[in-house]
Structure formats: C-alpha cells, structure tokens
Amino acid sequence: MESTALHDLKSLLEFESTNTYSQAPSLYFIYNLDKDKVKEVMSLENVRCILNASENVSDLVNGSKFVFYNKKSNQFLNLEETDLGFEEYLITSSGNKEVLQDTIQKIKVTSSIIFTELNKDGTLDKLPELLKEFDPKYWKKILDFTGSYFDIEIPDLSHLSLPDRKEKPSKNLIDYSDEYAILVSTNKAIGKEFIQLLHDYRSKKVNSSHLVLEQLFNPLELYNYLRNHHWKEGIPESFIKEWSEMSFSQYKLTEADSIDFESILSKLDIHIQIPKKIKDDVKDISKSKPTDNFSVQETKIPSIKDFPQFKIWIGDMLGKIEDQLELKKK
C-alpha cells in the first residue's frame, strides 16, 4: 500500500482486522508513511504490517510489534532474526502457493497441539512424538513460532533425547525430475490435476512415517520417492486413467488438452489408452453451440471451509464462463 494514495488508511486496516476469516490473513507492506500515520497504524490490534516511513521514526522502532523496513538501505530496522533457512526451505520446496499454505497450516495445527500439551501438564515430554514428521533441525523454529503465536514461554528442552532423523544415504536411486517436469509443465490444468492426485495417492497408500518432510509436501520429492519405491515399473495404469478423468478439478478437457495429454504419455513412452469417453466429451464440447443456460451447478460446490478445493472450483467456474463467452463471440 502506498500510504499517500489512501484517504483513510487506519479505517481500512481496522476493517481488515475484524472482517477476515482466512487461514492466511493479509500481510501489508505500507510505505511512504509520515510519523503521524505510523503512530496510527501502531495503535491497531491484529494487523500484520511491514512499515516504511518517509520520516525519522527511530524512537518508535525498538520494541515495536511491527516490522520496519528502510527502502534506501534495503534493510529491516528491527528484525533480529537472520536465519531464515526454514522459511526459505518451506517456500522453495512447496512448488506452489496452495502446497505452501497447507504446509504452514500443518505447522500451525502442530503448534496448537504443543500449546494444549503445555496447558495440560506443563511439560513437553511428548515433543519427539508430536514433531516426528519434521526434521529435528527445524524443531526450534516451530517451537519459537508456537511461543510467539500463543504468547507463551517454551520450557527448557535440553533433557529431551532428540531422534536422529537424517535420511540414510540411498543407493541406486534415480532422479526423475525431467520426467516430472513433462508431467506437470506441458499443460497447466493437467499438471495441477496430476499434483493433486499425487498427494491423494500418498495420503491413501503411503505410510507417512517412511517419508521425510520434503517428500510429504514437495510434489517433486514425493514423485521421486514413488518412482523409486512404489512405481519402479512406471506410473500405474489405474493412476493414469484416474488422472485423465480430471475428477479433482472437474475440468472438461478441450481438444487441445487431449492432444497435450497424449503428448505427455508419448514423451514418457507410456502406452496406455486414454478412456474413450474423454475424447467423446471433447468432441461434443468442440461442436456444441453456445447456450444461455450455463449453470454453476454442473459440479458439487466444495465447502468454503476446504478453501484450497473451493479456490480451485472458483477458478474452474471462471474458466468455463470465459469459454462460454468465447463461444458466443464466434
């Protein structure tokens, strides 16, 4: 936000803080603030901001719950944390925004359990069990987050015996990164469906205790794991046929999509016939005339509580509306 372009910055931020139900509330970068506006923003509760001032506000910086940033020096003025390795890892390993949000939500849920355990008996003897799915080198980060989020003191954990979760050197493992790139990058809609189905397969058929954090949430790492351990002979035919049905997104393949799908299989030397009904559906769509009776009730609307799926549904509906508009133009 450019502060000088907003008439009533404080009211806008107050409205945001009391009317958002998102699992990922907005983080604002507000710049060109004069000192009076800085004080206004700092008086607010439940607002997440990074502030840039056009005046000297050194007397307000220290001890503030808000982060101050100097654009000229390209530095944060009161952010003591310099080790952002965990944060960088989460971003780079997630692959997309949706997976990143799911990972952060998982950490938040774990933190809530830790908080509950502390309230119940005042100790964290069960911590190794609670954090077993995370690499121990990131445990302190998660505990620091828990303490900050719930505004509590985390007890001394030096007495706990932490497990060695380092992955043993693997022999004869193949890197399937190039293969994965073909699967997810050739066609956006088809690639998104593949990633969703991949995680669904993992949740139903893979023991999560055998996976490290990267394999749980990074689709490339998960794919490499499956190809080296479960799919040594190739992607199962049943998986590919389920993929071609696009059941997660309910996306209707166009003729171009169908060609892309066959191209993906051909490049990977996969000789599996796509179910004929997919091609028939494509043919029917390409020949259909525009209609004024387009309905958003074509698919079951996901609950807004399952926001990632709801977001995908909204995107698909907008895509279908655009397709109808293009047909009418013709």
280 has a pLDDT exceeding 50: no
Q: Structure pTM?
A: 0.43
* Percent of the chain's residues with pLDDT above 70: 76
What would the DSSP string read from start to end of 184-208? HHS-HHHHHHHHHHHHHHHHHHS-G
Same domain, 106 and 131: yes
pLDDT on residue 231: 92
| CA 207, 211, 217, 222 torsion-angle sign | negative
- Domain range for 53 is 3-76
Q: Report the number of distinct structural domains present in the chain.
A: 3
pLDDT on residue 213: 58
Q: What is the average pLDDT value for the chain, to the nearest integer?
A: 78
- Strands (E) across the chain are located at 27-33, 48-53, 67-70, 75-76
Residue 65 to residues 10, 11, 178, 264, Cα–Cα distance (Å) = 17, 19, 45, 50
Q: Is 164 a domain residue?
A: no
Cα–Cα distance, 189 to 121 (Å, whole number): 49
The residue from 273, 288, 303 where one domain ends is: 288
Residues in the chain: 330
pLDDT band at 123 (very low <50, low <70, confident <90, very high): confident
Same domain, 187 and 278: yes
Q: Is 197 a domain residue?
A: yes
Same domain, 279 and 206: yes
